[in-house]
Amino acid sequence: MSVNAELRSLEIDIPSQPESLVRLSLLLAEEAIDLGAIAALIEADMALASAVMKAVNSSLYGLRGRVESVQQAITYLGTREVAAITFEMGLRAAFPPAAELEPLWQRAARRGLVMGRLGQRLSVDAWAAHSAGLFEECGKAVLFRHAPDHYGAMLRAAGSDTELVALEHAGFGVSHDALGAALCESWGLGAVAVASVRHHVAVQAGGEIALPAGRRSACALSAITRVLIDDPEALEAEVARIAPQADLDLALVLRAARQVREQLDAALAHGR
C-alpha cells in the first residue's frame, strides 16, 4: 500500500515545508550552485541562521576555531553539510519544542552526518543519504505532536522501533516510518531518501532491502550507520549482510565506516 493511500483516511497533520527550505531546495537543484545565494538565504532568516551557526559550532563538527558566518561554515564544511544542517533546523522548528523529542533530534543530527559522509566516501548520493538520516525518525515527531501524552507513553514502553511500530499501528492505524516517508515526500525529498525512511525499521531489524536496485543505497547506509553508532562490534557482520544488497564493496564500506567513526569520535573529543 502506498504512503498516500495509507494516510488518506487518517486525521494526523503533517507540517508543511517552511518557505526558506523550499527556496533552499530550488537553489540546490540549480546546475551551477550559487554559494553566495545559499548563504544569503540562510542569513536572511535570523532565527534559522542562529540555529545553523549554533549547530555548526557544536562538538559534533569539531571545528578548530569558531565559525562566525554561514559563508565561512560553507567554506569549512561544504554546501551539502551546511544545507543539511539548515534542513535539520527547519525540521525541528516545524514541531513544538518538547523534551521528549530532544534525543530524537540529537540522533538525527549524528545519523545524518554519518550517512552523508559515508555516501560521499562510497560515491553514492551523499545528499540523499544525509537527508534520509535526518528525516528517519521524523514520523515520531508527527505522532508526538498529534497525541503527546498517548505517544509519549508509547515511546517509553517500546523496547525497539519494531515494537514501537506495532504499538503505533494498534493506537493510530499508522506507523512512524510511513508518516516520515509522507513528510519527506511532501517536503520534496528524492525517492532514494523517501524509500530509506519508509523501510528503515524493517531493514534495521534484519530484513531484506525490498526496493528497486537504484533506491537501496541510503537504506543500506541507514542500517550500517545504526550499528556503527550503537553497536560497532557488530559492524563487520552488518556490512556483510547489507552491502551486497546495495551492490557496495564490503572492504570499501568497512574502511569508510571506520574512517567516519574515527572522524566523529575525534570531533566529539575535541568539543569536550
Q: How confident is the model at residue 10 (pLDDT cuts 50, 70, 90)?
A: low
pLDDT reported for residue 64: 77
Which percentage of the chain shows pLDDT scores above 70?
Answer: 95
Amino acid at 65: G
- What pLDDT is recorded for position 269? 78
**Euclidean distance between the first and final Cα of the chain, in Å?**
47
| Span of 63-72, 108-117, 148-157, 188-197 with lowest mean pLDDT | 63-72
Q: Check whether 5 has a pLDDT greater than 80.
A: no
Per-residue pLDDT reduced to its tens digit, 128-137: 999 999 999 9
Tens of pLDDT, residue by residue over 197-217, are: 999 999 999 999 999 988 999
The grid cell for 30 is 540549480
- pLDDT score recorded for residue 271: 58
Indicate whether 268 pLDDT > 80.
no
Query: Domains, the chain, ranges and CATH?
Result: 17-93 (no CATH), 98-270 (1.10.3210.10)
The pLDDT of residue 215 is 93
Residue pLDDT, tens place only, 242-259: 999 999 999 999 999 999
